[in-house]
Structure 1
Amino acid sequence: MFFDKKIIRLGVDAGSSTDVIKLLAEALAGEKIVKSTYLQHVLERETKFPTGLQLEDNVGVAIPHTDSKYVNESQIAMATLKQPVCFKNMVNASQIVNVDLVFMIAMSQPHEQAQLLSNLMTFCQNKKAVQELLATSNNIKAYEILKKYQLS
């Protein structure tokens, strides 16, 4: 499983997408999962290749990430947001997505990323799973939800 209860953040009060990305990158760095340059490269990639995705039911998700060379160990940091923050749409960068849920991917092996992105997209299309995750305020419960839906 690519999730760790220690790097799940629930009910985050963030003012911007950059704030959320920084928070999650710091959580990953604090556990030595990513290199010191990881945050800089995630932010740079986000400006060129936005990761906001509009789901059904007015829920937005973002999946910021960068190259595996900035990662020591494969892991995903996750945050639910108290209030949505704006990310640019991954399909059309001129559109804004109000994001409620962020999965920050840190994969140490390039081949892991494609399968993981596919798994995340499948998870995000499951309205029940997303709603369960957004409704919880307990890291252990969030971890169990992710595990239940086999997001690993």
Structure 2
Amino acid sequence: MINQMFNSELINLQANVDDEQQLFDLIGSDVIRKGYAKLGYISGLEKRELSYPTGLQFPDIPVALPHVDSKYIAKAFIYIARTKNVIKVKQMGDGREMTTNNFLFLGIKDASKQPTLLANMMNAFQNKNFVERFLSVNSRDEMFNLVTATFTKIEIETN
């Protein structure tokens, strides 16, 4: 299930970075150190974002969903990061510049599950109630509780 992809140790709501590259280095180093991603993960993020940007502008929140080829994933995960500073990213689809400080790094092992995962993430971020709660959360535990409660019914294979 998707909620098994969340782990409170993979939530950083105070990421102190100035740009996307610094964020990729910070999160990438963390998931590699914790055994969720393999070496090459950070360069994989950089290359994928250049070709296939992941920024999404929803009515009430801008979000980016960076992800890489499954060969860089050791164990399926979703890493939630909120940056202290707003960061420039490119929009999914048209590549236009946008800004956000909300990121969900998707560590997907089974690529066939990716469309379902993305669809469910997109549905959540179009829900005004969820977005208000997501934006108001200030602690790891609160965020973990919110996302696991929100995504409990979504079936996603994690291995």
1:81 CA drift (Å) = 2.1
Q: Which of 3, 7, 19 pairs up with 1:4?
A: 7
Task: Return the TM-score normalized by structure 1.
Answer: 0.91
Structure 2 unpaired stretches of 5+: 155-159
- Structure 2: which amino acid aligns with 1:73? K
Q: Secondary structure at the match of 1:129?
A: helix
Q: Secondary structure at the match of 1:34?
A: coil
Q: Give the corresponding residue for 1:71.
A: 73
- What is the number of residues matched between the two proteins? 150
After the TM superposition, which segments of 4 or more aligned residues of structure 1 sit over 6 Å from their partners? none
Q: Give the corresponding residue for 2:157.
A: none
Q: Give the corresponding residue for 1:16.
A: 19
1:52 CA drift (Å) = 0.8
Task: Return the TM-score normalized by structure 2.
Answer: 0.88
Per-residue CA distance 1:22-64 (angstroms, 9 max, x = gap): 222122112111111111111101011111111113x210001
Q: Secondary structure at the match of 1:132?
A: helix
Q: Give the corresponding residue for 2:133.
A: 132
| Identity of matched residues, % | 25
Residue pairs, 1:2-151, within 5 angstroms? 2-57=5-60, 59-93=61-95, 95-150=96-151
Greater strand content: 1
Higher relative contact order (CA 8 A, sep 6+): 2
1:9 CA drift (Å) = 0.4
Q: Secondary structure at the match of 1:90?
A: coil
CA contact (8 A) 1:2 1:76 kept: yes
Aligned equivalents of 1:55, 1:13: Cα separation in 2: 24
Per-residue CA distance 1:94-118 (angstroms, 9 max, x = gap): x211112100111112222221111
Per-residue CA distance 1:103-143 (angstroms, 9 max, x = gap): 01111122222211111111111122122122212101100
Cα 1:131–1:27 change in 2 (3 A) is farther
